A and B are shown apart, each in its own frame.
Chain A
Amino acid sequence: MNYEVSIGLEVHVELLTKSKLFCGCSTRFGASPNSQTCPVCLGLPGVLPVINKKAVEYTLSTALALNCKASNFSRFARKNYYYPDLPKNYQISQYEEPLARQGYLEFELEGKLRKVEIERVHLEEDAGKLIHGEATENIEEKDMSFVDYNRTGIPLMEIVTFPVISSPEEAYQYLVNLKKIPKYLKVSDCNMEEGSLRCDANISLAPKGEKRGTKAELKNMNSFKEIREGLTSEIKRQSHLLDKGKRIIQETRLWDNKKKKTYPMRSKEWAHDYRYFPEPDLLPLEIEEKWIEELKAKLPELPQTRCQRFIREYSLPPYDAGVLTDSKELADYFEECLKSFPQPKQVSNWIMGEFLRLLKEENITVEEVKVSPTQLGKLLKYLKKGTISGKLAKVIFEEMFKTGRKAKEIIKLQGLKQITNEKSLRKVIDEVLEQTPQAVSDFKKGKGKALGYLVGEVMKKTKGKANPGLVNKLLKEKLSIL
């Protein structure tokens, strides 16, 4: 039977503040275990947390970018549970009074605009990191776990959708588009490998038109791809049960990426009885309209809007616009490049082609690229003028990319200027024709391929510097009088 699927996503994003949410410890990733902790984040008795204003601002800005309504009144709450990654035995989170509510994210799904409603955006502290003995090499450690509290207290923003997502693919696209927002705002690097973006899902099935079924919660998915796979496998499992007239149990299930299926979490320690109550150590927040207006004014142009503008303003295909606006840095690079070479489609081809290829190859970010957008623009000017061939332009760009040298310098230094001098080209052509009588006679017999071969030979002899169009023309002239 076909069921209607309801998926809700809960995304946790670590914020890029310098210090933790309630204390001055560093948030730097990769420090040695427990070297970034203090009495506050270790939960020692008698300490008082104080809210990091930047973390609140980052959360509010993201919420505004997600079209949420910021709360006038907001408060932190204690969420109580016992787990070794939580030294206080409670997590300072938000419950009834999150920083913002009721927003949405719009994105394209299979050519149509989709709108996923967001229930709330709140701020909380992250928990510590557990390393299980099984993961270490030492066999005697298999019954132990180890705790590193460096992550404890790092500001964590939680973005929760209503259960309105109706397919694993839609969930995937939501995540891809959501991830761009904190990155555009530079409030998080959203790096899943380093755990600065994590996602849990809940999913339920119901026969069409009927009210939502019992949901299962899914955890332990470590990439957007795994989330899509996890949801797909869960739809299969639940519809199989429903087909047989069985009931779905409300439970938390974990994704097993090796077996590609979900399994129920054993421990009942996560009984959802967190006994939330207002955090007595932190005073409430009253968020004034003026503050919100200031934050709104500071928001950059957001990916979806920018993508639409690129299509409209530069007549770019939607695919190009999507790739270019994927990150703010790339979109900025593109627009900066246009200032020195105002040919959008050509610049776009170069950025999507050579630029992104080299970026991936060198494994660096746009910000680390040594070629300035102006320099790329200049290179494209040389190409347009015919000073260099397209093939050579790629070689030169690679050199620029690797060394940071200017296009002009490389062309001059390596004598890479295109040969457009007919006289010297004719000389090369004569040489080639003399050395390849077979090809010449093939051409005479009407084998068109032979011409291509001859052009290739001329290019080889000139180390790619000859203008191919000119070579073609001159070759044909010469061959016709032979």
Chain B
Amino acid sequence: MKEKKINKEEVRYIAHLARLELSKEEEEKFSRQLREILAYVDKLKEVDTRSVAPTSHVFTLKNIFRKDERKDSLPVEEVLRNAPQQRRTQFQVPRVIE
């Protein structure tokens, strides 16, 4: 695998994807920290994992299902209780349209 260096450009891009606003100092700080973290994680590459399947879960459980049955939903006042703005039992947000 190619060594990945984190530069400020990438930190800005990731911050944008996560809708975070970073100051110049923070960009600097996070670039450095992320680089350190990646370098640390890179140590794992020293282990030979050729015979190990990629693992996404540590449990051995699988096929956990529920039946197709209805349960009560929340009362709509409860649903909207945390909404900063609402109208006609809908969440109101800034205009998003193409």
Contact = CB atoms under 8 A, between A and B. Distances in A.
For chain A, what secondary structure do more than half of its interface residues adopt (helix, strand, loop), or is it mixed? loop
A266 B95 contact: no
A5 B65 CA distance: 43
Given A42-B79, A283-B63, A35 B89 contact: yes
Contact of A284 (B57, B88, B92): B57
A71 to B, nearest CB: 13
Contact of B66 (A35, A53, A284): A53
Contact of A142 (B56, B63, B92, B95): B95
A148 interface: yes
B71 A23 contact: yes
A467 interface: no
Interface residues of B, number: 34
Interface in B3-55: 17, 19
Given A56-B65, A80-B17, A280-B57, A32 B89 contact: yes
A38 interface: yes
Contacts of A32: 76, 89
Nearest to A32: B89
A146 B93 contact: yes
Interface string B57-88: 10101111111111111101001100000011
A177 interface: no
B92 A38 contact: no
Contacts of A194: none
A275 interface: yes
Contacts of A147: 90-93
Nearest to A129: B90
Interface in A114-146: 130-134, 141-146
B89 A143 contact: no
25 contacts: A24-B69, A25-B71, A33-B88, A33-B89, A34-B89, A36-B73, A37-B74, A42-B74, A50-B66, A52-B65, A53-B65, A54-B67, A54-B68, A130-B96, A132-B97, A144-B87, A146-B88, A146-B90, A147-B92, A149-B91, A267-B98, A275-B17, A283-B59, A284-B57, A284-B62
Contacts of B90: 33-34, 131, 146-148
Given A24-B70, A35-B73, A131-B90, A145 B62 contact: no
A286 to B, nearest CB: 5
Contacts of A130: 96
B98 A265 contact: yes
B79 A145 contact: no
A143 B98 CA distance: 13
A17 interface: yes
A467 to B, nearest CB: 57
Contact of B96 (A52, A83, A141, A149): A83
Interface string A273-286: 10100101011111
Nearest to A135: B97
Contact of B80 (A34, A254, A280): A34
A18 B71 CA distance: 10
Given A17-B68, A38-B74, A285 B94 contact: no
A61 to B, nearest CB: 14
B98 A266 contact: yes
A26 interface: yes
Contacts of B97: 132, 134, 145
